[in-house]
Structure 1
């Protein structure tokens, strides 16, 4: 099934000057030419096709029979047709199709990227044709006031499409609850929650609905062939599903932002990214060895990047460190985010044709931290030994543990786990003493 895509805008994209990135197609062709020219050290030089030296052993075959000449006359048209077909495919097929066929063109590789990276992209990248499982959706903003102002005063603002990939775990519901209470202070926001789960989570449906924020709940499981990978490309299927949702609705007015459920957000961030014309960037705190990742700015322009893990990435930024204007993104019909851990941001930004002079520095010229990559230590859901006969209506424990089990936080068992202690006056008492 072909991917849905935006219609291109009327105004063509202009080229930049000194800091302009090389044209994607020309650069990929140069990379292919370099690979053809490489040969092992000490190897004999390549011999032009069917071109024999007059004194070589092949020369005697150029007799009156004209066998070689005849073969050449037969092969040259075939070779020409093959080269034409390759060129036609390269320059007419889309980026994702070329990647799938191993023809390169994956969005403008950087100068220091290696051939293995290109081939790996071709294996791991997929066209945006995700199957969407829409669990629930609330398009009406039921909040009457945001930051002490009535909602109608914010009607002129562009909508922020806040994409949150999430997955079932003990910390999922509390982290989504904490994030929701941040988003409650943000006007004109649509929350796209994509859950890495085969089916829909009814508890999450009810939770998202009660906040009153416009939302969409998607079930977007990671493809099974990636689940055993080390590391697994976590969150990619979720974000791809959200991109597909935006495309199917042909949304070209608003701001796209990828916001994880375990991050911490300064409310000023939302005011900053709402001004994005193409792509805005800003530093993210608590990232790897440097404790920060973000752009280097001189004279109001982004000139480089600070990040402790480069890996040949042209755009070494964190997923929470940029926002994209949907009208700008609509110019690129093959927006993609590959299943390649660590390179999701880089390949996504390449797929939207980002150039250095397009980037708008935010956060007071990238001197302030407006988003923190705070992470919660993941632990397995707790199991406590509490006899099922005491989980009836005689106390709150039955309803409490049913709720905890739905959220994936804890569960009660008759035989497993440490025995649940119930105390009174500072002393542990038998379950039967308290609950019977």
Structure 2
């Protein structure tokens, strides 16, 4: 039997090939995405640093379902690489419960946790003593103040008011990345306003000419908070754009948009407003009658836990 000899040059070539294969496997395992095309494109653009940042503003408040709803949203942030979450608690301090949700999702460098309490006094001009201040006004305005002070205004970014009880498709955030500077992206929202879907109405040139809203259609912008996202440069250009207690219920969307854009600046997205990628869902009020009975006995089912 003849003896097979491997020359040093052959060994070197084999080592180089082996190292190259390892590098390719590592690169593919780390950066590729096996999801739908829009998600693959998102990750591809993220590697090239071409994605606009999306600032998602979420007011939240303590309630039994808070952690569950924030956990659901945090899983979206795991999938969208360019999201920065500004989460504002309606409380006198930030809480460990909210922070733990963010950290557990691996979002250490991708969130800003703020807090401000909604005032309880009823000193707004002309308001009935039984009038309740709407949630989210103080919190969203604090987030806008943070953005104007800290956001990188030299790079295109998008601002989205992301309530914690809605249901969002990841594809919606891929659509937001198409929003141009100086524009407001709009799209349909499912299960809102007494309709299966509220949506912008477009003409043959795909320009927004109206809305199909059934509730208060006379509003300047009769759409839901989840129905639009705004180019960051508009908030920098118009620092007076904030939410207000001085407007009627259901007019907060119109209040913020009237400062920033006309209908001509609305950019229809989601397949020219034919696809529904967000739903105005609400969590059923948690029933805790058995828990209340335990509390009367000085006990709790969640003793030492964050549920």
Query: TM-score category by the smaller chain?
Result: 0.7 to 0.9
Q: Do the aligned residues in 1 keep the contact of 2:55 with 2:160 (CA within 8 Å)?
A: yes
Q: CA deviation at 1:235?
A: 1.2
Q: Which of 246, 253, 257 is matched with 2:160 structurally?
A: 257
**Per the alignment, in what secondary structure is the counterpart of residue 200 of structure 2?**
strand
1:160 and 2:67 aligned: no
CA distance in 2, matches of 1:311, 1:369: 20
Asked if 2 retains the 8 angstrom alpha-carbon contact of 1:163 and 1:242, the reply is yes
State the match for 1:178 in structure 2.
72
Aligned counterpart, 1:192: 86
Q: Distance in 2 between matches of 1:311 and 1:301?
A: 19
Q: Distance in 2 between matches of 1:171 and 1:295?
A: 32
Q: CA deviation at 1:198?
A: 1.2
* Aligned partner of residue 179 in structure 1, secondary structure: helix
Describe the superposition over 1:120-141 as per-residue Cα deviations: whole angstroms up to 9, x where unpaired: xxxxxxxxxxxxxxxxxxxxxx
Instruction: Report the alpha carbon displacement of residue 280 of structure 1 after superposing the two structures with TM.
Output: 0.7
Match of 1:248 among 149, 154, 166: 149
Cα distance in 2, alignment partners of residues 230 and 318 from structure 1: 22
Map Cα deviations across residues 21-40 of structure 1 (whole Å, 9 max, x no partner).
xxxxxxxxxxxxxxxxxxxx
Aligned pair in 2 of structure 1 residues 234, 147: CA closer, same or farther (>3 Å)? farther
Q: Secondary structure at the match of 1:176?
A: helix
User: Closer, same or farther in 2 for the Cα pair 1:360/1:164, shift >3 Å?
Assistant: same
Residues in 1 aligned to 2:50 and 2:104: alpha-carbon distance in whole angstroms: 25
SS of the residue corresponding to residue 224 of structure 1 reads coil
1:343 corresponds in structure 2 to 251
Post-superposition offset of 1:247: 1.0
Q: How many residues align?
A: 253
Match of 2:199 among 294, 302, 326: 294
How far apart are the structure 1 equivalents of 2:240 and 2:168?
Answer: 30
Q: Which moved more, 1:380-389 or 1:153-162?
A: 380-389
Please list the CA deviations of residues 368-398 of structure 1 after superposition, one character each: whole Å capped at 9, or x if unmatched.
Answer: 1010001112236532427669x8xxxxx6x
Give the match for residue 185 of structure 2: 280
Structure 2 SS opposite 1:310? coil
Q: Residue deviations 1:389-418, cap 9 Å, x none?
A: 9x8xxxxx6xx43315xx5xxxxxxxxxxx
In the alignment, is residue 210 of structure 1 matched against residue 104 of structure 2? yes
2:270 counterpart of 1:363: yes
Q: 1:410-425, aligned counterparts within 5 Å? A: none
Task: Specify the alignment match of 1:267 in structure 2.
Answer: 170
Q: How far apart in 1 are the matches of 2:71 and 2:151? A: 30
Unaligned runs of 5+ in 1: 1-143, 392-396, 408-436
The answer to whether structure 1 residue 306 and structure 2 residue 212 are counterparts is yes
For 1:362 and 1:327, the matched residues in 2 are separated by: 19
Name the counterpart of 2:16: none
The structure whose Rg is larger is 1
Q: 1:8 matched to which residue of 2?
A: none
2: CA distance between counterparts of 1:368 and 1:151? Answer: 23
SS at match of 1:221: coil
In structure 2, what is the Cα distance between the partners aligned to 1:326 and 1:285? Answer: 25
Aligned ranges 1:28-427 → 2 under 5 Å: 147=33, 153=47, 155-213=49-107, 214-225=110-121, 229-252=130-153, 253-277=156-180, 278-299=183-204, 300-310=206-216, 312-339=218-245, 340=247, 341-352=249-260, 354-379=261-286, 381=288, 382-385=291-294, 400-404=302-306, 407=307
Q: Gaps spanning 5+ residues in structure 2: where?
A: 1-29, 35-42, 124-128
TM-score, length of structure 1 as denominator length: 0.54
Question: How many Å separate the matches in 1 of 2:45 and 2:178?
Answer: 19
**Is the Cα contact below 8 Å between 1:162 and 1:191 reproduced in 2?**
yes
1:216 Cα shift?
0.8
| Helix, strand or coil at the partner of 2:68 | helix
Q: CA RMSD in A?
A: 2.5
Q: CA deviation at 1:250?
A: 4.8
